[in-house]
Each structure stands twice: as C-alpha cells, then as structure tokens.
Amino acid sequence: MIIFKKDFQIGASMSSMQTEGKGITKIGDLTFDKYFQEHPELFYDRVGPEITCDITRHYKNDIKMFKEIGFDSLRTGFSWARLFPDGKNLNHEAVNFYHDYINEYKKNNIKIFMTLFHFDMPLWAHQKGGWESREVINSFVNYCNFVFQEFNDEVDYYVTFNEPLVPVYEGYLNDKHYPALNDPKQAVNQAFGIFLAHSKVLLEYKKHNLKAKIGVVFNWNYTYAYSQSKEDIDAARIYDAYVNRGPLKIMYNGQIDPILIETLKEYDMLPAHSQEEIDIIKQTKIDFLGINYYFPCRVKCKENNLNRWVMDKFEIKIPENAKINPHRGWEIYPEALYEIGMEIKNDFNNIPWYIAENGMGVENEERYRNQQGMIEDDYRIEFLTDHLLQIKKAIDDGSNCFGYHLWAALDCWSFRNAFKNRYGLIEVDLKDQSRKFKKSAYWYKQMIEAKKG
C-alpha cells in the first residue's frame, strides 16, 4: 500500500456535462446536443448527453458513496448553460441547485473543486463564433463573475478551464467534438480566444478577494521524440510548443513560446488580436495547477503534402514494445508523471499542483463481474498503483504536489464514446441509474485510510 501524508488530498474527478444530463432545472442546448441530434450514429450505442449519470437527482446518494470511500476532495463543475440557458438571463433554480449540491459536499467534509468550462460550449455561443468571438468571451467572463460573487468561498478551488485545447484539437482539427471541422486557421483563433478568456477571468477573480484558490487543469501528455534523429527531436520541440509546454506556459504565467510566433507567422496563421489582449495575457497568474495525465506523446516527423501549417508535418507514434490500454489504444507510461513533477519543480517555480485526472478506461467491464455481482477491476488498481508510485517519487524529490484525483468518481458519459469505456470507482447501471462499488473503490478507501501525518 502506498502511504501519503495526511494532508495529501485523495479524491476523484468528473464534470457537469458528463454527469448532469438535462437534469432537474432548465438548461440551454450545448454543442454536443446539436451534434447528437445531427449524427446519433456517431455516438457509441446511440447514447447521447440527455441523461448521462442524472446526478442532479442522485447526488445525495452519490456523495454519500464518495464519503464512504473517504474522498478528501472532488472536482466537478458549474454548467454555464444551466446557470444562463440563453447566455443572458439567470436561471434561479440552477443557482439553488448548485448551492444545495456544493453544500452536500461540505456536509460530508469533502473539499470541492468547481470547473467553469469543461468542453460544454453553449450552442448559442458556438453560433456566435465560439472562443473566436469577443462577445462570447465577455459573456463567459460575466458568467464567471456571477459565480465568484454568488458562490464565493463555498467553493474551495476554482478552475477556469479543463483541458482547454481538447475542444480545439478535437472539434476544429478532428470530428470527435462539434463542429467536426479540419481547419487549422479556425483552430488557432479558437485557441487564442481560450487563452484570452482564461486571463480575463483571472484578472476579474482578483477583484473578489476570495480565500478560494483559482487555477487551470491542463492535459500534459508529456512530449518525447519518437527517435533520436534530428528530424524527430525538432518535431517534438515544435509539437510541444503547440500541444504541451507551449499552451501550458501561456495559461500558467502568460509566457508565449517564440516557436509559436515564428511558425504561425511562417504559414500566415497568426490569430486576430490586439496589443491590449496580448498585455492581458501577459498578466496571467494562477494559484495552482491541475494536471491530467493518461499517456505520453512520442512525436515523429512525417511526409505530408497538406502544408497548411507546421503541425501537418508530425504524427504521434507508439513504440512497438510499449504497454498499451487496448480499449483506448493509449500507451501506458507512468514514468512521465515523475518527469512532470520534476519539471513543475524546476521550471514552474514549484507551484502547488495536483493530478486532476488519471485513470483506466475499459470496455465491457461486465466480463469481470464476480459471483457476488461486483466488478473486479484489478487492471484499474494496477494502473493507479503504478502512477501513484511515480507521484510519490516526485513528492519525495521535492515536487509540490498536494493531491491526486482519479478519473472518475463514477462511470461518466464521455462524448462520442458515451459509456463505451468505463473509468469509475462506482459502476452506473444505465437501465435504472443504480450505483455499485467496484473492487477498486475498496482498494482506494484503504489507501486513503492508510495516510499518516
């Protein structure tokens, strides 16, 4: 059993859209509602975002189960579209729900991290241009200001964005998210808008003088060159500036990597911006950093005739001898977590940080149900153990890591994957929305109980 200090927070993550569904209050349409309406066949088993885990009806029992496991803290989020269904008018029922919801965690002595944006773009905002629109950015800032004023220090930690560039890469360079385009120019403008929105919200947050901390949760899929060839090393350096360290440093302290500027200029891809907006971004300062880690990126240079932007020249390639999660096709490489911990210590001023997501998604977990009806997910316990050992090693070597949240507290709906790959400590039965602990929940409980001062 891995033993952490008593003040090390151990808990889990989930998100508003992936657990709430339409819920008990009015909520505006999201881009994923539109995507599902247009192409239900793209979603696993044609399961859309209508119900998900129906947590707005089940949260008291869910939080009771979280308490039984022993969570110190949990991350979920507010839904912008629930609080402001049309982007302008406040939904008072939603305000009351979130007060009740957050207070239920408080009653059970579970600290709460609340995310302000987790892939859940309101449809009206997308129709106005998404993050490329300054009107949308200002509406987002207004929504965040309302949250800070209304919920104040009921929330222990605020998170501006979860995995900020995933909707960009998956929606504007891929078909996993709406609008399912492949347009690098739009992707760059959307990304810049996210950086600007993040920085504007941080500046507004300071005006509220809250005790709560504010940060960002970034998916750092640590970059390696696929080989030691000069081409692959150069490819990894540029890829890293676009996907990992580059955007992370912008959202950490407003530092813009010169590689980004040079290569975007080379392809005439610089986003529309003003000097005032650059000055706002340069004022960026967060209190803590959340890191989501699932797999590394091993970058290889490739031949490509598209030549639209520099990223067309690279591909991610998994070594033949790598350990793989076959259900997701992702490499399993826990050692990168230690390197992340050391890099935060040495290059990010040892900012307080925590693992905000790390987990093992497996298809058809029914195969592992025992005679007593419990899923014996030893594969998940092995995965989590291997990664937690690397976190412990980083802490022992001086990295300022204050906690670990696995993904996910319970089986969550996951966009086009729906419930194909299950990640939870707690099983969700989609037929009746009943919940049941998996074997990993009892293992996790033991690890939390083993903490010592």
Q: Would 1 be classed as within a structural domain? A: no
**CB neighbours (10 Å) of residue 163?**
23
For residue 185, being part of any structural domain is answered with yes
Q: Are 215 and 159 within 8 A, CB to CB?
A: yes
CB 49 within 8 A of CB 23: no
- What is the reported pLDDT for 453? 55
Annotated catalytic residue 163: yes
Task: Find where tokens 């692959």 sit.
Answer: 232
Tell whether the torsion through CA atoms of 175, 242, 162 and 270 is positive or negative.
negative
Q: Give the pLDDT of residue 268.
A: 97
pLDDT truncated to tens, each residue of the chain (453 aa)?
899 999 999 999 999 999 999 999 999 999 999 999 999 999 999 999 999 999 999 999 999 999 999 999 999 999 999 999 999 999 999 999 999 999 999 999 999 999 999 999 999 999 999 999 999 999 999 999 999 999 999 999 999 999 999 999 999 999 999 999 999 999 999 999 999 999 999 999 999 999 999 999 999 999 999 999 999 999 999 999 999 999 999 999 999 999 999 999 999 999 999 999 999 999 999 999 999 999 999 999 998 888 899 999 999 999 999 999 999 999 999 999 999 999 999 999 999 999 999 999 999 999 999 999 999 999 999 999 999 999 999 999 999 999 999 999 999 999 999 999 999 999 999 999 999 999 999 999 999 999 965
Instruction: With respect to residue 170, please indicate whether it lies within any of the assigned structural domains.
Output: yes
- For 113, counting Cβ atoms within 10 Å of its Cβ (0-12 exposed, 13-18 middle, 19+ buried), the class is buried
Which residues sit opposite 223 in a β-bridge?
A: 297
Residue 340 contacts residue 220 (beta carbons within 8 Å): yes
pLDDT at 304: 83
Q: Which pLDDT score is estimated for 1?
A: 83
* Residue among 163, 277, 331, 365 flagged as catalytic: 163
Question: Which residue spans within 86-195 are E strands per DSSP?
Answer: 111-115, 157-162
- Are residues 386 and 331 in contact, defined by beta-carbon separation less than 8 angstroms? no
Please tell me which residue in 20, 357, 365, 427 is annotated as part of the active site.
Answer: 357
Q: CA-CA distance, 218 to 216, in Å (whole number)? A: 6
Residue 230 lies in a domain: yes
Instruction: Please report whether residue 3 resides in a domain.
Output: no
Cβ neighbors of 48 (< 8 A, separation 6 or more) are 32, 33, 36, 40, 418
- pTM > 0.85: yes
Query: What's the pLDDT at 244?
Result: 98
One-letter identity of residue 415 = F
The answer as to whether 214 is a domain residue is yes
Three-state secondary-structure class, residue 85: coil
Residue 336 domain flag = yes
Q: Measured in Å, how far apart are the chain's first and last C-alpha atoms?
A: 16
Q: Which domain holds residue 91?
A: 9-450
Asked if the structure places residue 4 within a domain, the reply is no
| Number of domains present in the structure of the chain | 1
**CATH number for 26:** 3.20.20.80
* Cβ 196 vs Cβ 277: under 8 Å: yes
Residue 271 DSSP symbol: P
The answer to whether 179 and 126 have CB atoms below 8 angstroms apart is: yes
